[in-house]
Structure formats: structure tokens, C-alpha cells
Amino acid sequence: MSPRDKTASRDSRSSTKTARKSTVLDIGRPVTAAASKPRPATHLNVEAPTIAKPRITPGKNTKSVFIKTYGCQMNVYDSERMADVLAPIGYAAVDKPDDADLVILNTCHIREKAAEKVYSELGRIRQHKERNKPDMKVAVAGCVAQAEGAEIKRRAPVVDMVLGPQTYHKLPEMIARVSRETGDVLETEFDTIEKFDALPAGRQAKGYSAFLTVQEGCDKFCTFCVVPYTRGAEVSRPVEQIVAEARSLASQGVREITLIGQNVDAYHADGPDGAEWGLGELIRHVAKIGGIDRLRFTTSHPRDMDDGLIETLSTEPKLMPYLHLPIQAGSDRVLHAMNRGHSYAHYRDLIAKVRAARPDIALSGDFIVGFPGETDEDFEATMNCVREIGYASSFSFKYSTRPGTPGATLPHQVPEAVKSERLKRLQDLLYTQQREWNESLIGKTLDVLVEGHAKEPGRLFGRSPYLTGTHFDGPDDLIGQIVPVTITSAGVNSLVGALV
């Protein structure tokens, strides 16, 4: 999970808000579909690229596409929708690039030197294409494509298409233009609503848990982050689109949906009742869909967490007791330099409200150490924040410059050795808290959504309500079910239990 956030008024939302009216939908049960049972899902490691799994076996009249995904859940979702867009024109996803007719790199620009990693990968692809597959087409998608644009075409002539996060619905048109040899294709304009309007209403589920994008973009302009420049302004999808996609997932056996967005709690759209809905209302609406037993949301911003959403945490039984709410630093001086728009006291008060509403909540956070100008005292404020709040899980990183962001040109950059030492101290504390949280679950019986097989023979793997990976012995016919498991032991990253 990664930090996602030039100063902008909250009123700027109104310029991006969709003007559509939602219609009242019968969402009591999922639509029926002759879809095959979804495959067991595996846990996303956001620090490593993922490969889109085959959906159908390429046949005589199909072409193959290899999609490699870097970064967060938003990119995983986008890659799945690229496959959906390409399927009607005969492309089947494969898990190796060797014989692919089309290779897509769906990129992330959050980490330092992310673009260079893409160029290295493109070098390997070029060699393979020249030696083995001269007719292969190559596309670069995602945030690096949005940020680098024409530079990618200049540095890597092997690339046929460059498309930003809001233009992948144009892939069939772009492929046709390349096939007609009408010139290079560069599509990096922002047009989020058009994108979602053009996507198929349904999608093929890959497991029993799925991501569903409800909001994109960011208006916060944190000084360390490129997202406002690569994903654009905050835009929310219409309620009826979200419901239609959720019903499609439910009809294929999906039991758990995670509503995702760069700032998901900034969601706002017209509800079927004519009122403006926030994320809390949307969650309660989606919860009515038959077959969907669990809901989650990520990633939230403290500036957008409102009382309505907190109340939903308390009152909606399908909403799992897990909240990812990044703070980044515990020092108000550093938070101001980051342009986070909130203080530590504001964050602390939010957490108190959340815990009053949902006492069993598992809290997750993001932290950046070594932001320009961070002193020893500032870092200690972050450590004190962690001690006071307490986290069940976390993501922590050394600050790295993102070209084009205000933070990259700030004075008083912190030496690398100091950042490394601070990160180790912080992670030692965070991992201790994570282990203590997991150990507090020993002896409790938790409902676990069984996603598939564990690495150990005869064992199954699933997710607890707190999103923790859980291993236990059980028969294969439990895959896709929610079963009670009593926790018998715990580590830093996972739980072990026994089927009840």
C-alpha cells in the first residue's frame, strides 16, 4: 500500500462531480449468469509486480495478451478491466510473455526510479521481440505512462502505444490504429467518466474477493506525491454503475468486495433518493446485494473521514472491522510541509471516534521517514504517534523524491543513512505491535473467507475479518466458503487456526 495524495479547496470537488441521477435498482439478489466458478484468489503483494492470470485458453482464432502490473490495488483493478476490454476483440490473457501478441506494462510512479524499472523491462521485451516475436505489439499503461508520455516513445521505440490510467478503454481503437500503421499512439488525456462509461458493465471474476473502483484521482496535492498529476482530480463513479458491477461479481460467486479509490472516503454522488451520497451511504447500499457477505474500503484520507462513514463502521454488519488510514508523520511541522491538511491531534481524535464506534477495529497506517527537514524531534513525534495509536498493520517507507513534486526541490534533504536508521527503528516498533495484535487473537474464533490452498500440503488459506492471512487444515470443498476458525498461533504476518 502506498501514499497517494498543490493546495486545492474542497469546493473543487463540485467541478468533478458527476451530474447523473442514479435510478432505483433491484439489488436484493445478484443477476444470474452462466459464468464459471471463480478461481481462488491470492493475496496481493503491492511491492511486487503481478501477472494477469489466463481467463480463457487461446485458441486458433484468438490472440494473446500478457499484462504485467506494478503497484497498488487501483492498478490491479485497471489491469483486470483492460483484459475485459480486450476480450470482445479476441484477446485472451496469458501468464507468460513468450508468445504474446500484445504485451502491456501497467506501471506505478509512486516509488523512486519507477520509470527506470519500466525502461529496463522494455529493454528485455525489445530483445525478445527482435529475436522471437517480431509482430508483437507493446503498450505502456498507468501512471508512468501518464507522467513520462512522449519520453517513453523517444527512449523506447519498441513501444507502440502509451496510455494513461483514464484511457485504457480506448485500447481496441488504439490497437486498430497501430495495425493500420497510422502512426504511434499516445493517449494520456484525463477523462475518467468517459472511461467508466465505455467499460463493459460486467467483468470476469478471478476469485472470491474482488476490488471495485468507486473513486479516482486526488485533489490533496501532498508535496511528496505524483498522483494528482498522473490520475487527475477526484471523480466519483455513479451509484448505478457501481451496483451493476457489484451484482455482476456477486453472480459469479464473489463473496467479498473492497471498494477502492485514491481517496475513497472522498466519494460523493447522487443517490437514488436524489440526495448526495457519501461513502457511508454507498456502502450500506451495496451491502443489500445478495451474495455479497463482506465489504471493505481503501485508501482513506483523514481530511475526508466523516461522521457518516464512522457511523457505518458501527452499524453495517457486512463492513469488516479494518481501516487503513494513513497519517505519514506524527509531527505537525512535517505534516504541514507535506501539505497533508490535518494535524496529529485531528488524526488522533478521528481514531478515538472510530474506536468508539467499532471497538474491535484493526487499524492500518502509512508512514514516511526522512521527509526533507525532518529532525530527530520530528521523528520522535512519529514514534510517539505509533505508541499512542497502536497499529495492527502498516506500510512504512523512506522518503524518495518524485520528479515534478514540490518535495523534490525542498532544502534540507535527509541523508540516506539517517533515513535507513529511522526506518529500522520505526519498523521494529510497528512489527512488534503487529505481532501483539495477532497474538491477541489466539483463542478467538474468527470467520475466515477461504480463498484457496496454502503452500503447505493439505492446508487452506483465507482471510480473517481483520484481513490477516489465516492457515488451517480443511477439505477443498470449503474454498469459497466463510467458515469459523479458532486461532491457535500467530506470527507477524499471519495466523494459524483449527476449523471449528
319: helix, coil or strand? Answer: strand
- Find out whether 72 is annotated in a ligand binding site: yes
- Find out whether 385 is annotated in a ligand binding site: no
* 275 CB neighbour count, 10 Å cutoff: 9
| Spatial CB neighbours of 104, under 8 Å, sequence gap ≥ 6 | 65, 66, 67, 68, 79, 82, 138, 139, 140, 141
Amino acid sitting at position 431: Y
* 346 CB neighbour count, 10 Å cutoff: 16
The pair phi, psi for residue 317, each rounded to 5°, is -65, -25
CB 74 within 8 A of CB 44: no
Question: Read out DSSP for 205-261?
Answer: --SSEEEEE-EE--S---TT--HHHHT-S-EE--HHHHHHHHHHHHHTT--EEEEE-
d(CA 198, CA 56): 23
Which runs of consecutive H residues, i.e. helices, occur in 290-415?
307-315, 332-337, 344-357, 376-389
* 438 CB neighbour count, 10 Å cutoff: 23
d(CA 345, CA 291): 40
List the binding residues: 72, 108, 143, 218, 222, 225
List the binding residues for [4Fe-4S] cluster: 72, 108, 143, 218, 222, 225
